[in-house]
A and B are shown apart, each in its own frame.
Chain A
Amino acid sequence: MKLITFAGPPSSGKTSVILKLIEAMAIDVNTIGVVKFDCLTSFDNLRYAEKGVRVETGFSGKLCPDHFFVSNIEAAVEWGLKCGFGTLISESAGLCNRCSPYIQGILAVCVIDNLSGVNTPRKIGPMLKMADIVVVTKGDIVSQAEREVFAFNIRQVNTAARIIFVNGITGQGASLLARHLQGARELTSLRDMKLRFTTPAAVCSYCTGEMRIGAEYQMGTMKRMEFKTE
C-alpha cells in the first residue's frame, strides 16, 4: 500500500484536490482510503462518502493536532492494509503553520491557495518547507502576476519542492499531480519511521487544563515575549 500525507491550512482546498486526484487516477475507488485528522468537527467525510471513498475521521479535540496525528497514523496504516487499499491518503488541517504531519520517506503534499495572499508562503513554516510537492489552488480567481509571485515565494521557502497548480473545482492539473504521486513508495508498516520535524512542545500548565491567567499558574515549557519601552 502507498501512503500519501496531505496537509494545508483550513479551506485551502485539500479535500477538493484529493477528490479530483482520485478521479484523475482513474482507478477503482474501493482501492483508496482516506483518513481525515481534524480538531473539532469536519464535514469532509460526507464529501468523500458521496464519491464512494472509504473515510475514517479522527478529532484531536484538546490535543495538539500534530501529536494526535503521530499517535494515530500507524493504526491508520494498519486499517488501510486490512481494508486492502492500494493507496491510503491522510488529510490533516494545519492550524498553526508549524504543523507538519510529514514522515521521512513518505510522500508529503502541502496544499495552499492563492487567495491567502502572496506573502503567505513565506510565513508558513515546516508545513510548506518540508513538503515534497506543493499544490497551489484557486489560481482561477487571481491574476497571472499574483500566481507567479506566489510560486516564487514558495520557491524561496522550499527550493526543492515540485509546485503544481490544481483547480479544486474543475480538476485542472489533477492528472499532473497524479503522475507525480505514482512514485510514492510501497509500505507495510510505519514502525520506527521518523517525523520530518518535531511536533510543537506542549507540556505547560495550560496543556493540562489550567485556565487562570498569571505567572504563578504557569509551569513547564513557557516562552515569554519581551516588550520594550523606550
Chain B
Amino acid sequence: MSSEKYLEMAIATPLNQILAEHPICRDFFMNLRLTDLDWNLPLMQALDHSDQDAITEFGLDRGMILREFSLFLETFSRVAADAASIRSLTIIGGHGKSGEPEIAQWTATVGEIISIVGPTGSGKSRLLADIECLADGDTPTGRRIHIDGREVSEGQRFDMEGKLVAQLSQNMNFVMDLTVREFLEMHAGSRMTRDAENAIARCFECANELAGEKFTPETKVTQLSGGQSRALMIADTACMSSSPVVLIDEIENAGIDRRQAIKLLAQKEKIVFISTHDPLLALSADKRLVIKNGCISRIIETSVEEKNCLDAIEKLDATLLRLRNRLRHGHEISMNTVKGEEQN
C-alpha cells in the first residue's frame, strides 16, 4: 500500500475502525496524551473537539498530527511484514592475534547450530562480535561477513538496523518489573504477532521445559532464578524474536536442559552460534569452530560417535547435578552417590 493510501485512510476512516484493524494505533494517541477523542469520528474531526493546548505542547498542529499518524500507520504495517530473512552467512577469514592467516572462508546455512570452542581468551567472543557487527575488515581480526553469499551493501547494513542478530549472554538480565506473562505479552505486542495468545502460551511452555525448576506466568521476571531467566530468554529468543541469526555467549552455568534448548533453537530456521566451554552444548551442535590464538583453526563436524557420547555425557552431568543437590539439601556424599547407586 502506498503512502497516499495511508494518508487517505487517516483522513477518511473513523478512528474506531482504524483501531479495530490496527490496535497498535492506540499507542500513537497515548504517546500524545490524546486519550479522550471522539473515536467515532475520523482523525481531523476528532481533533477539532480536543484540547488544542496539549497539541501545541508537543510542538504539533492538526496537520502535523495527521501526517505523523499516516506515517505511523505505514511504519507499523510494514513492521509486521518485514522480518529480515536470510539463507546463509559466510565468514571470510582474517588473521589471528599474531597476524597468522586463518581458514579462507566458511559458510553456515539456515537451520544449523554451530558451537565455538577454544581456550579462555582465544577469541570466541570476538568471533561473535564480528558476526554481530557484520565485520567488513574493520575489526582486530580483519574478518568479513557476507550474507546470502554476497557482501553486505551499505543500504542493507542500514536497513537491517539490529534486526538481523539476537544476542544472549551471561551478563544479560531482565530489568523490567513485570510478570512472565506481561513480559511475553509485551514482546508479542511489539512483534505485532498475529496469534499472540497462542505464541505466548507456547513460549511459556518451552521456557518451563528448559528450566530445572518450574515457574508460573505470574512470577515476576526479576524474581526468576539464574537458570529460569536463561530458560525464558532462550525460549523467548526461539519463539518470539524474528532475528534469523542468534548469538549465544556462555550460558552453561545456568542449570537448564541444554540439549532441549538446542533442539528448540534448531527447529526455528535460524543460524545459531554458541560460544561454550561445555561438552554437552559443544557436541549437541552440528558443527564446532575451534578458535586458537584468535584464529578459526579447525571446523569439526560432530561425528556419529560423538553424538553417541551425548547420552553418557548427560549421565555424567546428571551425576554432578545429583551431587550438587545432595550437598544443597544438607546430605553427606559417599562413593555410592558418585556412582549413582544410592538414591536418597
The interface of chain A, by Cβ under 8 A from chain B, is 114-115, 117-118, 122, 125-126, 129-130, 139-149, 151-153, 155-157, 159-160, 162-165, 170, 172-173, 175-176, 179-180, 197-198
Q: Which of B59, B68, B161, B191 contacts A197 (CB 8 A)?
A: B59
CB atoms of A179 and B154 under 8 A apart? yes
Complex: A152 Cα to B75 Cα, angstroms? 11
Q: A155-B75, A165-B162, A175-B138 are in contact. Are A144 and B175 (CB under 8 A)?
A: no
Complex: A57 Cα to B171 Cα, angstroms? 35
B167 in the interface (beta carbon within 8 A): yes
Complex: A8 Cα to B233 Cα, angstroms? 29
CB atoms of B176 and A118 under 8 A apart? yes
Complex: A179 Cα to B75 Cα, angstroms? 24
Interface residues of B in 276-297 (CB under 8 A from A): none
The interface of chain B, by Cβ under 8 A from chain A, is 27-28, 30-31, 58-59, 68, 71-72, 74-76, 79, 129, 132-133, 138, 154, 157-158, 161-162, 166-169, 171-176, 183, 186-187, 189-191, 229, 233, 236-237, 240-241, 243
CB atoms of B166 and A176 under 8 A apart? no
CB atoms of A143 and B31 under 8 A apart? no
CB atoms of B72 and A159 under 8 A apart? yes
The 8 closest A-B pairs by CB, nearest first: A152-B190, A159-B75, A145-B187, A149-B190, A144-B166, A159-B71, A197-B59, A165-B162
CB atoms of B187 and A149 under 8 A apart? yes
Q: Please name the residue on chain A nearest to B157 by beta carbon.
A: A176
Complex: A159 Cα to B75 Cα, angstroms? 7
Shortest distance between the CB of A145 and any CB in chain B (Å): 4
The 17 listed contacts between A and B (C-beta, < 8 Å) are A114-B175, A143-B172, A143-B173, A144-B236, A145-B236, A146-B176, A147-B162, A148-B190, A149-B186, A151-B162, A155-B75, A155-B79, A156-B72, A172-B129, A175-B138, A179-B157, A180-B158
User: What are the residues of chain B within 8 A of A130 when measuring CB–CB?
Assistant: 59
CB atoms of A163 and B162 under 8 A apart? yes
Q: Is the interface of A mostly helix, strand, loop or mixed?
A: helix
Q: A144-B237, A145-B183 are in contact. Are A117 and B176 (CB under 8 A)?
A: yes
Q: Please name the residue on chain A nearest to B240 by beta carbon.
A: A145
User: What are the residues of chain A within 8 A of B74 when measuring CB–CB?
Assistant: 159
User: What are the residues of chain A within 8 A of B72 when measuring CB–CB?
Assistant: 156, 159
Q: Please name the residue on chain B nearest to A142 by beta carbon.
A: B175
Shortest distance between the CB of B192 and any CB in chain A (Å): 9
CB atoms of B174 and A143 under 8 A apart? yes
Q: A144-B237, A149-B186, A160-B71 are in contact. Are A122 and B31 (CB under 8 A)?
A: yes
CB atoms of A141 and B171 under 8 A apart? yes
Complex: A38 Cα to B240 Cα, angstroms? 41
Shortest distance between the CB of A199 and any CB in chain B (Å): 11
Q: Which of A125, A142, A151, A164 contacts B172 (CB 8 A)?
A: A142
CB atoms of B133 and A141 under 8 A apart? no
Complex: A115 Cα to B132 Cα, angstroms? 21
Shortest distance between the CB of B188 and any CB in chain A (Å): 10
Q: Which of B79, B172, B240 contacts A140 (CB 8 A)?
A: B172
Shortest distance between the CB of B64 and any CB in chain A (Å): 11
CB atoms of A157 and B31 under 8 A apart? yes
Q: Please name the residue on chain B nearest to A145 by beta carbon.
A: B187
Complex: A134 Cα to B75 Cα, angstroms? 16
Q: Please name the residue on chain A nearest to B175 by beta carbon.
A: A142
CB atoms of A122 and B27 under 8 A apart? yes
User: What are the residues of chain B within 8 A of A156 when measuring CB–CB?
Assistant: 27-28, 31, 72, 76
CB atoms of B174 and A146 under 8 A apart? yes
User: What are the residues of chain A within 8 A of B27 when measuring CB–CB?
Assistant: 122, 156
User: What are the residues of chain A within 8 A of B28 when measuring CB–CB?
Assistant: 156
Task: From B31, B132, B154, B229, name the one whose CB has the most chain A CB atoms within 10 angstroms.
Answer: B31
Q: Please name the residue on chain B nearest to A159 by beta carbon.
A: B75
